[in-house]
A and B are shown apart, each in its own frame.
Chain A
Amino acid sequence: MTQAVKSVCIVGGGSAGWLTAGLIAARHRGAPGGEHCLSITLVESVERGAIGVGEGTWPTMRQTLRKIGISETDFIRACHASFKQGAKFVGWRTGDPDDFYYHPLVLPEGFPDLDLAPHWHEAAASSFSDTVCFQEFLCENGLAPKLITSPEYGGIANYAYHLDAGQLGKLLRDHCVGKLGVRHLDDEIVRVEQADNGDVTAVVGLRHGPIKADLFIDCSGFSSLLLGQTLGVPFVDCSDVLFIDRALAVQVPYDGPDSPIVSHTVSTAQKHGWIWDIGLQSRRGVGYVWSSRHAGADRVADELAAYVGPAFADLNPREIAIRSGHRACFWKNNVVAVGLAAGFLEPLEASALVLVELSADYIATAMPATRHAMDIVARRFNAMTRYRWDRIIEFLKLHYMLSEREDTAFWRDNRDPDTIPQNLCDQLELWRHHPPGEHDFASANEMFPAASYQYVLYGMGFRTEPLRRPTADERHAAQDAFARTTATKRKLAAMPTNRALLDKLAQYRFQPI
């Protein structure tokens, strides 16, 4: 058990496999021949191809790509990426025509030192997010979060990306193989060999025979070849909380080369689920995710067609089954799963890629030196990752359970108390009298800050009735913060449009500093 960990084999390519390879290789390429130098192999069946889930990222992707050593300009060009400044939720509360709210990526002004939640009603000429934060203004006006003079991965407003996941895999593969020394094998795994203690000793490829390693990372997608199939770690189904289990996806071309590129994800509630709408440089990615227990594919196709408009007739919708849930643990023996092999929830709030980044970053950082140390790292990884899944599930459920929509069983069933996790019920009980604050989220591994809960709660019309009235000082500080937000909006009115900046980026590069 004191055997040193010197080789890593990642099974499966796609965004998960290559992000993991990139993060580990960038951290461990070290001096050749060094005592702890890791050899990293990624084996994938190129024919099989990747599923390409999630075209929305979190702002974490900026740090991830920087760590891997890819320039932002190259990334944006190669992945047809655009800037994402949060999500606009349309029709989630009542379904009325003017029903929308934002979950922006910029925190409320002064947060967390200053909490504007108890004050915004007094100031509110507009929504919570528009009152406490300037980013909704940028989004509603199609403006970019940065300038051509902003350095790579730096901006005026916090931002993430919309990207073509297939292209991301290719970019990462070329970089990992060409620059980071990752060995890439194109092969079909036909068998997995195990030691007596259950450890995987080799995956056997049709062409390359046994591929041995000390640590195996399962990025094999929904099939969960090593963790699920080989080591028998069961799948924890979450469909009792999150009902979405189908997606119908289309790629919608822009009307013309000057069409605006929306700089946020638009999530529009439908009768039996919701539609995502993601603007890339070259096209829009649009899809309806729904609950098959509540509606058949025909009915949602009609709704999707109505959303897309006449262009829908020429498109080829692709239906994807979603299994909502995760493995009971994520690291067992010498196998750790990252990406779909670990689990998947619906695309709301774009949690797929960020979980890949967080998991891969932890594995790279805490890379066990020996097989013995691996069991300790695995225990910690499992506790941390399970915590993250639970928080994501609760946060996603929050979006549905606060809805006042009565039009279908899908929305009514989402409010059934039996479908709401107890921890979320507890939080909501507290939030009736205290706005969500940092004290509600004490872990170092939180996924969503208290501010995100505020954006969703108050966007959905939730009322917090504070126990005490704010002091005069608190009221003045809040008024000053609202004034700062208004001033920032005025200053940012001159930002370029998302389209204009992306067009410029086709010609010029962001500078590294």
Chain B
Amino acid sequence: MKLVQLSRTEHGHLRINPALALSVAANVHLVPLTLSEIRTVASQFPVFLAKDGETGQFYPCALMGLEPHENLYWTGSALDADHIPLNLLRLPFFIGGADPAQAAICLDEHSPGVDANGPCAILEPDGSDTGYITTIHGILDRLAAGKAPTRGFVERVVGLGLARETKLDVRFDNGTGAVLNGLYAIDETALGRQVAAVTDFDDVMVLAAMALSLAHVGGLVRRKNRRIEADAQWLGAAA
């Protein structure tokens, strides 16, 4: 990865292939979410809280694989999902700097999404922004503006004792299994006890969406079984 600040003169001529940019997600099992997208994303992926390894602070995330560096939604060329989290949609662009007000847009110059044959241009021939880069701006703005509300939400959840460490211990059809630690789910029992303390109705909806999203773990297991079966067939054919 090589992050550089996006500039019209340096990068205006580049073309982007968003699908290829997304290929980095092939090795990602947890994708950080911003508060405003949790309800939508939770309709498709299990949504947990996890801890940032550098800071120890909780963040909401979508679970896409059952072990580190595994993404069961990645088909080899695309992410097989109706709703893609903003942190994947923005690729290969990043927000630089800690202060959202001063945020600079950065580009990963080494991203496979920087592709001369890509379908999306950064600038129109007349030098104005393309619809694509305007969309990217919108996504990055949403991510930057969502930082503080997301942090506030996480603090309320943890402060009220609504999260509970959840060890995912799953079995696959071929007899193998996987154990995934470090995930914290919404504890429905605790939520039931504390429901009067959750004063913001939007919080209630997000918490309910997160609690219900655990059902998607079953979908991950099904995808894993299909992948194991496909690998076995491929290996069988190779043999």
A residues adjacent to B (C-beta < 8 A): 147-150, 504, 507-513
Contacts and interface: CB of A to CB of B under 8 A. Distances in A.
Contacts of A150: 56
Given A512-B158, A513-B158, A513-B184, A504 B165 contact: no
Interface string B155-166: 000100101110
A280 B86 CA distance: 44
Nearest to B52: A149
Nearest to A505: B56
A149 B158 CA distance: 14
Interface string B164-194: 1100000000000000001010000000000
Nearest to A146: B56
A508 B57 contact: yes
Contacts of B52: 149
Contacts of B184: 513
Interface string B119-144: 00000000000000000000000000
A508 B165 contact: no
Contacts of A510: 56
A509 B57 CA distance: 7
Given A504-B55, A511-B51, 20 more contacts: A147-B56, A148-B53, A148-B54, A148-B56, A149-B52, A149-B56, A150-B56, A507-B55, A508-B56, A509-B56, A509-B57, A510-B56, A511-B56, A511-B57, A511-B58, A511-B158, A513-B158, A513-B161, A513-B164, A513-B184
Contact of A513 (B53, B57, B165): B165
Nearest to A501: B56
A149 B183 CA distance: 12
A229 to B, nearest CB: 47
A508 B158 CA distance: 15
A511 B161 CA distance: 11
A510 B53 CA distance: 12
A149 B54 CA distance: 8
Nearest to A151: B165
**Ordered nearest first, which 9 A-B pairs have the shortest CB separation?**
A148-B56, A149-B51, A508-B55, A149-B56, A508-B56, A508-B57, A513-B165, A149-B53, A511-B58
B87 to A, nearest CB: 20
Contacts of B161: 512-513
24 contacts: A147-B53, A148-B54, A148-B55, A148-B56, A149-B52, A149-B56, A150-B56, A504-B55, A507-B55, A508-B55, A508-B56, A508-B57, A509-B56, A509-B57, A510-B56, A511-B51, A512-B158, A512-B161, A513-B158, A513-B161, A513-B163, A513-B164, A513-B165, A513-B184
A508 B53 CA distance: 12
A507 B98 CA distance: 14
Nearest to A507: B55
A508 B52 CA distance: 11
Contacts of A507: 55
A70 to B, nearest CB: 16
B153 to A, nearest CB: 15
Contacts of A508: 55-57
A509 B55 CA distance: 8
Contacts of A147: 53, 56
B164 to A, nearest CB: 7
Interface in B31-59: 51-58
A510 B184 CA distance: 15
Interface in B44-83: 51-58
B224 to A, nearest CB: 26
Contacts of B55: 148, 504, 507-508
A492 to B, nearest CB: 16
Contacts of B57: 508-509, 511
Nearest to B164: A513
A205 B39 CA distance: 62
B151 to A, nearest CB: 12
Contacts of B182: 149
A505 to B, nearest CB: 9
Contacts of B54: 148
A496 to B, nearest CB: 10
Nearest to B159: A512
B172 to A, nearest CB: 26
Give the residue among A147, A148, A149 with the most B Cβ atoms within 10 A: A149
B34 to A, nearest CB: 20
Interface centre among B51, B54, B58, B182 (most CB of A within 10 A): B51
Contacts of A504: 55-56
A150 B164 CA distance: 14
A149 B163 CA distance: 15
Nearest to B163: A513
Contacts of B53: 147-149
A510 B164 CA distance: 15
A150 B53 CA distance: 10
Contacts of A509: 56-57
Nearest to A73: B56
A148 B58 CA distance: 11
A360 to B, nearest CB: 27
A508 to B, nearest CB: 5
Nearest to B53: A149
Nearest to B58: A511
A511 B54 CA distance: 13
B30 to A, nearest CB: 13
A153 to B, nearest CB: 14
Contacts of A149: 51-53, 56, 182
A337 to B, nearest CB: 38
Of listed A148, A150, A504, A510, residue having the most chain B CB within 10 A: A148
A512 B52 CA distance: 15
Which of A507, A510, A511 has the largest count of B CB atoms less than 10 A from its CB? A511
Q: Which of A150, A510, A512, A513 has the most CB of B within 10 A?
A: A513
A191 to B, nearest CB: 48
A509 B58 CA distance: 10
A512 B58 CA distance: 11
A388 to B, nearest CB: 35
Nearest to A150: B56
Contacts of A511: 51, 56-58, 158
B102 to A, nearest CB: 20
Contacts of B58: 511
A385 B53 CA distance: 44
A150 B51 CA distance: 9
Nearest to A510: B56
Nearest to B56: A148
